[in-house]
């Protein structure tokens, strides 16, 4: 295990030269935490230099962090492969998070609306981006007792809202407060190129 | 020779994630060129990742760039040794620069005031930082036909003005416009710890 002392990670004290996340760090999770992703990327950059791995794993659960680290690696030509570690879920769908322990039993139950909305969106994938958005929104509209921050279908390349004709990888992401606990969750999707599949003609499935 | 194609250096197009020079990039040369050192550090960071050298040389002539690259390497833990390449000078003291070709013969003559001031400062080093500053200023006061931007004794660790009791490495730097050409020059100095040498008692040199 690499467990460096403070002096090894911060030989010059608090960094003056830092990595700046840019516009991708100002949206979604960055909107409520100014400078947060600058700090994340600066520390990740330091650790990559200290350990020089061939590959580094980051959790899909923090989708914006993962997207920004990928972007940093591309934009600054870091010689490392970034690998996404899939989100682990409870059998009922709740994404594992250290924050789940702050949830009462009733709040935990209400929190299931988040993953349920993501699964509803995923199940509508063959209908294209708009169908995914609508299915997830419809699912969340039935949820009680959660304060939604955002539900968005996002292009992970630049962490902007995916266009209606988006193809390739996307992230359906949600953030909400349940009781006093803010939760985030997301599900990666892939939209094939070409026309979204049309609903079957009436009678075609008969 | 490593002469990469644009696509190799910019695989994601214009970088969104960039290296930010911070306050060290806003002073002296940075004061007149906002964002300049962010661009320098971003490109140098990219090239260090692409080439992964054990050591990299940068010219002392661009003292602030050199100091910022050293700071970047420390602050972001780049696994590379930065080596300063000494400034090369004409026999009369003029620092070699691609800009010298813009100088007329008369301007080139006036430009010698810059290196002359630096040498005057260097020769006063044993008197300490204040003696260096005064000697360089006195030399420049005699100069005709140059528009001084700054003359400063600088701590290269953070590129701020060196204190009167500064010890260790310092950079005596000057920037001025001669005719229509802006020139910079500097000379590295080292101030030993302990009391600056006192001028000899009258008669002691007899």
Q: Which of A53, A85, A117 is the last residue of a domain?
A: A85
Arithmetic mean of pLDDT, B175-198: 87
Instruction: Return the pLDDT at B142.
Output: 85
Instruction: Return the pLDDT at A194.
Output: 64
Spans of chain A below 50 pLDDT? 203-206
pLDDT at B206 over 50: no
Residue A206 lies in a domain: no
> Exposure of A111 by Cβ count < 10 A (0-12 exposed, 13-18 middle, 19+ buried)?
buried
Residue B90 lies in a domain: no
- Set of chain A residues whose Cβ sits within 8 Å of the Cβ of B70: none
A49–B9 CB contact, under 8 Å: no
Q: Verify that A12 and A63 share a domain, yes or no.
A: yes
Extract the tokens encoding B19: 């290296």
Q: Verify that A108 and A170 share a domain, yes or no.
A: yes
Q: Verify that A105 and A72 share a domain, yes or no.
A: no
User: What pTM value is reported for the model?
Assistant: 0.89
Q: Verify that B43 and B125 share a domain, yes or no.
A: no
Give the CATH number of the domain where residue A138 resides: 3.30.1300.10
A76–B45 CB contact, under 8 Å: yes
Q: Which residue has the higher pLDDT, B22 or A195?
A: B22
Instruction: Return the pLDDT at B205.
Output: 43
Arithmetic mean of pLDDT, B162-174: 97
Instruction: Return the pLDDT at A43.
Output: 97
Residue B89 sits at the chain A interface (C-beta within 8 Å): no
Q: Verify that B118 and B183 share a domain, yes or no.
A: yes
Q: Verify that A138 and A182 share a domain, yes or no.
A: yes
Q: Which of B64, B85, B106 is the last residue of a domain?
A: B85
Q: Which of the residues A23, A68, A75 would you substitute to probe the B interface, choosing the one with the greatest number of B C-beta atoms within 10 Å?
A: A75
Instruction: Return the pLDDT at B56.
Output: 98
Q: Which of the residues A17, A67, A78 would you substitute to probe the B interface, choosing the one with the greatest number of B C-beta atoms within 10 Å?
A: A17
Q: How many independent structural domains does chain A possess?
A: 2
Q: Which alpha helices (H) appear in chain A, and where do they start and end? A: 6-9, 36-51, 63-75, 105-123, 129-141
Arithmetic mean of pLDDT, B28-52: 97
**A17, A79, A158 member nearest B75 (Cβ):** A17
CA nearest to A187, candidates A171, A168, A166: A171
Q: Render pLDDT for B125-143 as a digit per residue (tens, 0 to 9).
A: 999 999 999 999 999 998 9
Residue A117 lies in a domain: yes
Residue B187 lies in a domain: yes
Residue B11 lies in a domain: yes
Residue B206 lies in a domain: no
Q: Render pLDDT for A46-85 as a digit per residue (tens, 0 to 9).
A: 999 999 999 999 999 999 999 999 999 999 999 999 999 9
Q: Half-sphere exposure of residue B165, counting CA atoms within 13 Å on the CB side?
A: 2
Arithmetic mean of pLDDT, B171-198: 89
Residue A68 sits at the chain B interface (C-beta within 8 Å): yes
Q: Which of B53, B85, B117 is the last residue of a domain?
A: B85
Residue A69 lies in a domain: yes
Residues whose CB falls within 8 Å of the CB of residue B192, separated by 6 or more in sequence, listed in order: B167
Q: Which domain holds residue B161?
A: 98-191
């Amino acid at each position: 295990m690499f467990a460096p002392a403070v002096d090894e990670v911060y030989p010059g004290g608090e960094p003056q030269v830092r990595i700046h996340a840019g516009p991708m760090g100002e949206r979604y999770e960055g909107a409520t935490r100014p400078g947060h992703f600058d700090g994340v990327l600066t520390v990740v950059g330091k650790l990559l230099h200290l350990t020089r791995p061939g590959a580094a794993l980051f959790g899909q659960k923090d989708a914006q962090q993962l997207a920004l680290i990928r972007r940093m690696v591309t934009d600054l030509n870091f010689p490392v492969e970034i690998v996404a570690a899939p989100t682990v879920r409870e059998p009922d769908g709740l994404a594992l998070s250290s924050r789940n322990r702050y949830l009462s039993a009733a709040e935990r139950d209400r929190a299931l609306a988040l993953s349920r909305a993501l699964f509803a969106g995923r199940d509508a994938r063959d209908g294209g981006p708009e169908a995914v958005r609508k299915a997830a929104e419809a699912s969340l509209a039935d949820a009680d007792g959660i304060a939604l921050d955002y539900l968005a279908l996002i292009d992970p390349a630049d962490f902007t809202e995916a266009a209606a004709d988006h193809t390739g990888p996307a992230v359906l992401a949600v953030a909400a407060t349940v009781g006093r606990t803010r939760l985030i969750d997301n599900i990666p999707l892939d939209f094939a190129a070409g026309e979204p599949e049309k609903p079957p003609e009436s009678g075609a499935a008969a």
